[in-house]
Amino acid sequence: VFPNAVSIASTVDAGLDTRRRRRTAVRIGAGVAAIVLVQAAICALAALPVALLWHALVAAVPGPLARAALAALLAVPTYAAFAIALLVVSPVVMRLVGVRTPAGAEMRIAEAGWPLLRWCHSAVATHLVRVVAGSLFRGSPLWSVYLRLDGARVGRRVYVNSVHLADHHLLELGDDVVIGAEVHLSGHTVERGVVKTARVRVGAGATIGLGSVIDIGADVGAGCVVGALTFVPKFATLAPGGVYAGIPARLLRGAGSDGAPAASTAGQRPE
């Protein structure tokens, strides 16, 4: 009886496993299809005005040589116009479809659940804009407008010279914040196969130096300077007005005692 029961149990387990794997495959397929459809629609919408203009202008010019010359002349402005349109169309459509990174989430990659697939969709949308428009417009006011439209809380006179910002709904940048080139600032991290999310705040007047990494849950106080190539650990709190540098970030001068580590609640989620 016992060997029979074991063999029945393992057959049932295998059946359940197969069903679970099939459901996961279907979910991933549906998630990927949704991403491709929505992102293709976003690109088409952003390209439509320039495509119509192109068509009208090129058709109005007589002769193949003149048409080719005009097309060559329009190539770069057309690309820039498409990129600018994408800065607006992508966040507006992503708002309409309601896809954004939730705060305080823990999503196991192996499970490939809907929250993870939705987070992937939001990451793909951000990446597409980064690739198409980021290198042209980072560091310009248009980049701050895009971040704001895409859900980040961005104050006035904010200068963001990095394309490596993600999970915009979870980011808050106060007035006069400067984000240096190649700074990584996102509302997610991945640890042992789990995507974890939390808000990140950079207080008014703070400067984040070139190439720094600001981990999830970090709270950079107003007026702080974070030195180049600094790592601010997750859920760390940097005191207002402090100058911090190093890996992990240490107080060089300013608030508190020199050489002290960033006040940190690493590993905890102070909700």
Ligand X SMILES: CC(C)(COP(=O)(O)OP(=O)(O)OC[C@H]1O[C@@H](n2cnc3c(N)ncnc32)[C@H](O)[C@@H]1OP(=O)(O)O)[C@@H](O)C(=O)NCCC(=O)NCCS
Closest to ligand X by CB, 83 vs 225, is: 225
Among 229, 255, 260, 263, binds ligand X (CB under 6 A): 229
Which residue among 151, 203, 221, 227 contacts ligand X (CB under 6 A)? 227
Q: Does 102 bind ligand X (CB under 6 A)?
A: no
E-strand ranges in the chain read 106-108, 153-154, 159-160, 165-166, 171-173, 178-179, 184-186, 188-191, 194-197, 200-202, 207-208, 213-214, 219-220, 225-226, 231-232, 236-238, 243-245, 250-253, 263-264
User: Is residue 144 involved in binding ligand X (CB under 6 A)?
Assistant: no
Segment near ligand X (CB under 6 A); pick from 70-78, 99-107, 193-201, 206-214: 206-214
Residue 231: phi, psi to the nearest 5? -115, 120
Q: How far apart are CA 150 and CA 153, in angstroms?
A: 9
Vertex 141 angle, CA 138 and 146, to 5°: 70
Q: DSSP 3-state assignment of 117?
A: helix
Q: Considering beta carbons, is residue 47 or 228 the nearer one to ligand X?
A: 228
Query: Considering the rule CB under 6 A, would residue 45 count as an interface residue with ligand X?
Result: no
Taking the C-alpha atoms of residue 153 and residue 169, their distance in angstroms, rounded to an integer, is: 8
* Shortest spacing between CB 210 and ligand X, in angstroms: 4
Give phi and psi for 214, each to the nearest 5. Answer: -110, 115
Query: Which 173-202 positions form the footprint of ligand X (CB under 6 A)?
Result: 178, 180
Q: Distance (Å, rounded) from C-alpha 64 to C-alpha 251?
A: 66
> Does residue number 210 form part of the binding site for ligand X (CB under 6 A)?
yes
Choose between 149 and 251: whose C-beta lies nearer to ligand X. Answer: 251
Number of residues in contact with ligand X, rule: CB under 6 A?
Answer: 15
Residue nearest to ligand X (CB): 227
Quick one: which segment of 65-73, 100-108, 120-128, 207-215 binds ligand X (CB under 6 A)?
207-215
213 binds ligand X (CB under 6 A): no
Tell me the CA end-to-end span of the chain in Å, nearest whole number: 53
Range in contact with ligand X (rule: CB under 6 A) among 22-30, 67-75, 241-249, 258-266: 241-249
Name the segment binding ligand X (CB under 6 A); options: 75-83, 232-240, 244-252, 260-268: 244-252
For residue 209, state whether it binds ligand X (rule: CB under 6 A).
yes
Q: What is the DSSP annotation of 169-218?
A: GGEEE-TT-EE-TT-EEESEEEETTEEEE--EEE-TT-EE-TT-EE-TT-
Q: Does 228 bind ligand X (CB under 6 A)?
A: yes
Q: How far is residue 180 from each of residues 144, 158, 213, 227, 230, measured CA to CA in Å?
A: 13, 11, 11, 10, 12
Of 157-176, binders to ligand X (CB under 6 A) are 161
CB of residue 231 to ligand X, shortest distance in Å: 10
Q: Does 233 bind ligand X (CB under 6 A)?
A: no
Residues of this chain that interact with ligand X (CB under 6 A) are 161, 178, 180, 207, 209-210, 225, 227-230, 243, 245-246, 252
